[in-house]
Amino acid sequence: MNIYDISKKAGVSITTVSRVINGSDKVSEATRRRVLAVIEENGYTLNAFARGLGLDTMHTVGILMVDPSDPNACNSFTQSLGSLQRELRRYNFDSVLYCVGYDMRDKAQTLRIMCARKLDAVIILGSFFIENNPKDNQCIIETARSLPVILINGSLEGENIYSFLCDDRQSAWDATSALIASGCRRILFLHQGDSLSERRKREGYSGALRQAGLEADGAYIRTCPLGIREGAEFVEELSRGLSFDAVLATEDSIAMSVLKYANRNHIAVPADLSLIGYNNTMLAECCHPTLSTVDNNTEAACIMAVSALMQVLRGVKTPARTTVSSELIFRESTRPAL
């Protein structure tokens, strides 16, 4: 049985059934009892699509993220996804997950599909989706003409677009400054790509070096494979032509590659090589020595984003951009300040 059958048996419109399901006060008590009796008699199960009919809301949000099976995908995305879905459930919203690869045509096509699904909003998880070329962001701006768009750790100006940014620039600045304070001078910066988040981390790293009177040498900024074995081999090759006494990695998995390289070559961490990762994943505590890392508070960003979305859906004016502060977690892979 579906919502159409309920309306027919109760002798009311589909809109009336939907109002009863959603607890609207625009239904008489007698009609409400009649509809509920039919629902109970037939064991009808409420779902997001039935709730949406007649009230112009599906109580469903689409979440767009990078395919988690892709080795280049940030390994903290699954944690952020869990936070988003948990918070949406608190407000009685369902979610539909869409995963795409790195082809921008896939991103645009998926956003078009999401618009056609009569969703209440779209949440885009990760700065990967924001392109350097403004023309490539047009698909997001077009989506926002139909639905509110929430960006998690991404930033884009546009009507009906709300950005929630982790303060990656400041956190990378703080991490680099901590390494300098501990006596490190040749700090290698290993990153995974050229997303907005990665660019802001590079800015923080370079800025902290310059503030300390050190050269921000491009030779020390390298893209590293995310696979731990491949990453360790990359660092091994790099060490043959480059001397470094510390590494700031933009992912904990990259930092694990450095740790594997150090263990293989009997390099003491942190006595001879200091190391800081990023995202404060479980990896950071499952290695020896345990990994100092940046907790970029993506869970807080997700909680704030869902709360703001509820305000937007109620028509409440909401800031277009919110920045969430990060925290540097010190463990065994770094030396204390001198």
Helical packing angle, 196-211 and 168-181, nearest 10°: 40
In order along its 338 residues, the chain shows pLDDT tens digits of 566 678 788 888 867 877 777 666 778 888 888 888 887 777 655 554 444 444 456 789 999 988 766 554 555 677 788 899 999 999 989 999 998 876 778 888 999 999 888 789 999 988 777 766 777 789 999 999 989 999 998 888 999 999 998 899 999 999 999 999 999 999 999 998 887 788 999 999 999 999 999 999 999 999 998 789 999 999 999 999 999 999 999 999 999 999 999 999 999 999 999 999 999 988 899 999 999 999 988 889 999 999 999 999 888 899 999 999 999 999 999 999 98
pLDDT on residue 22: 63
Write the CA distances from 193 to 170, 202, 335, integer angstroms. 19, 11, 28
Please indicate, yes or no, if residue 333 is contained in any of the structural domains.
no
Q: Which amino acid is at 253?
A: S
Alpha-helical (H) ranges within the chain are 3-10, 14-21, 29-42, 48-52, 77-90, 104-116, 138-144, 168-181, 196-211, 228-239, 252-264, 298-313
pLDDT on residue 5: 73
Mean of the per-residue pLDDT values of the chain: 87
pLDDT on residue 247: 98
Query: The domain that contains 45 carries what CATH number?
Result: 1.10.260.40
Block residue for tokens 């059958």: 5
For residue 320, the Cα-to-chain-centroid distance in whole angstroms is: 17
Q: Note down the domain range covering 183.
A: 168-295
Is the Cβ–Cβ distance between 233 and 239 less than 8 Å? Answer: no
What is the Cβ-side half-sphere exposure of residue 58, based on CA atoms within 13 angstroms? 17
Please indicate, yes or no, if residue 338 is contained in any of the structural domains.
no
Are residues 103 and 214 both part of a single domain? no
Q: How far apart are CA 252 and CA 230, in angstroms?
A: 14
Residues 307-312: contacts with CB within 8 Å, 24+ apart?
Answer: 307/87, 308/150, 308/162, 308/164, 309/61, 309/121, 309/123, 309/148, 309/150, 309/162, 310/91, 312/121, 312/148, 312/162
Are residues 45 and 84 both part of a single domain? no
DSSP character at residue 330: -
Please indicate, yes or no, if residue 272 is contained in any of the structural domains.
yes
pLDDT on residue 268: 97
pTM higher than the cut 0.85: no
pLDDT on residue 74: 53
Query: The domain that contains 178 carries what CATH number?
Result: 3.40.50.2300
DSSP character at residue 291: P
Which residue(s) pair with 328 in the sheet? 294
Are residues 81 and 31 both part of a single domain? no
Number of helices (H), then strands (E), belonging to the chain: the values are: 12, 12
Backbone angles phi, psi at 80, to 5 degrees: -65, -40
Could you report the per-residue pLDDT of 129-188, keeping only the tens digit for each?
A: 776 677 778 999 999 998 999 999 888 899 999 999 889 999 999 999 999 999 999 999
Q: How far apart are CA 202 and CA 194, in angstroms?
A: 10
Number of domains present in the structure of the chain: 3
Are residues 43 and 65 both part of a single domain? no
Are residues 173 and 257 both part of a single domain? yes
